[in-house]
Amino acid sequence: MADPVTSQEAAIKTRVVTHMNKDHAPELELYLRAFNGLSARAAAKPQIIDMSLDAMTIKSASGTHTVTISPPLPNYGASRVKLVEMAQTALSKLGLSDIKIDQYAPPAGFDCVVFFGITLYFVCAATLSLVQPGTVIWDLLDSFFPFGALGYRWLVKAIFVPVLVIHITESWWMANTRLIKHRVATGSKLWWLWTVSPFFEGLMAFRRFDGLVEKEKKRKESAKH
């Protein structure tokens, strides 16, 4: 991998390696996953430890790996364009978006109403065993709930499985159609926030996530002009 380089080329190489390690770890991870077949876990914490005109030596959580640069660079000054091109190719191979989501948008406005309603139902389901004849809550439900305490117990039980299945499915759908595509690290705090949100909010969480994607897309488009 050794290349005879001038002092000027060596300086450019150093700047490129330093810049990639400092600001572009996600791209280095993409190279390892797309071109070397590593899993996201194995490609984590990547750092370039050496670079030549035809390859990068990258150390990650799973060891040291060589990523081929093909065709080789004519000089280190051409590395920026080539590395950007490699990142785009990697995204395409992995089926990922160039929009990376790295923040969480909490519920606001009507989303809070939906969150409260769904959470209230699960509280009702969790405390259903406390609703027994002769208790204060039983008497209150008999007085104020449209179908009385018996109707309340029947309704909470009847919709429990459908509600649970629907909301688990929505969480699964968020993780598999949004979070993977937009490179939210599986198991991270951000991943958990976005995965749990549909369980308590349903479609509201999808609307907020898609809003962040659209906002980032517009930001990238405006940056091109």
What is the spatial distance between Cα 204 and Cα 195, in angstroms, rounded to a whole number?
Answer: 12
Note the pLDDT of residue 2.
Answer: 42
H-only helix segments in the chain: 7-23, 25-36, 79-94, 110-126, 136-144, 148-174, 189-201, 203-223
Omega before residue 71 within 30° of 0, cis: yes
Q: How many CB atoms lie within 10 A of CB 3?
A: 15
Residues of the chain with pLDDT under 70: 1-5, 225
- What is the Cα 157 distance to its own chain's centre? 34
Tell whether pTM > 0.85: no
What is the spatial distance between Cα 17 and Cα 11, in angstroms, rounded to a whole number?
Answer: 10
Write down the residue that tokens 């109403």 correspond to: 113
Instruction: Copy the structure tokens of residue 58.
Output: 């990258």
- What is the Cα 48 distance to its own chain's centre? 24
Note the pLDDT of residue 1.
Answer: 43
Note the pLDDT of residue 152.
Answer: 96
Q: How many CB atoms lie within 10 A of CB 112?
A: 13
Sheet of 47-51, strand order: 47-51, 55-60, 63-68
